[in-house]
Structure 1
């Protein structure tokens, strides 16, 4: 297989995994929707380049963490169908990583958007 063909195949496999997670994982569409909403808000409020970098990295981190959580859950399910304390622990820790990442994403969103939203609301109220 040529290097180009190999790279194309790897990209296709990776994209298939992302699309599968979007279709099959209950929380993934929410994370995608929130990411899109934040990008629209960033455009609407004309956030700075640094804020864009932080925002986009945060969105990517939340989605990546959810993808890793999904991979861990499926791997655990593949290894054992029995309820085992270590299997439960692995799944709980992976889910915890998503919660921590999402919580920090909310905090980052508040830091980025609080002032622009308050300024905009003040303009709307003073009309």
Structure 2
């Protein structure tokens, strides 16, 4: 039980830090607060609701991972290096693809209702 409490404390600390320091995470968090209830209201059935909600929740998850990559690269060295740039660019690309995935899923499901 102590391990679970410790893990929850670490997770909460990570969320607080991301919220305080990362404007993209705050923007995506606000988007999530709006879109998540809409996912349950607009989705017809469990599968649609899960797809709509899941793609919305995936965005801040990937943003957190991207931020972790950026922090790690910066911790190793602030010196400009092509591999550091590539790692950061790939993290950013992962966020972009997650946004595209959410957009496609939402459009596909919502357009099928009309």
TM-score by length of 1: 0.80
Per the alignment, residue 18 of structure 1 pairs with 15
Unaligned stretches of 5+ in structure 2? none
Are 1:85 and 2:82 counterparts?
A: yes
Unaligned stretches of 5+ in structure 1? 119-127
Q: Distance in 2 between matches of 1:57 and 1:46?
A: 12
Partner residue of 2:92 out of 91, 95, 104: 95
Is this contact kept in 1: 2:43–2:49, CA < 8 A?
A: no
Q: Distance in 2 between matches of 1:87 and 1:17?
A: 22
CA RMSD of aligned residues (A): 1.6
TM-score by length of 2: 0.89
Greater C-alpha Rg: 1
Select between 38-47 and 82-91 the one with higher mean Cα deviation. 38-47
The alignment covers a number of residue pairs equal to 114
Partner residue of 2:37 out of 35, 40, 50: 40
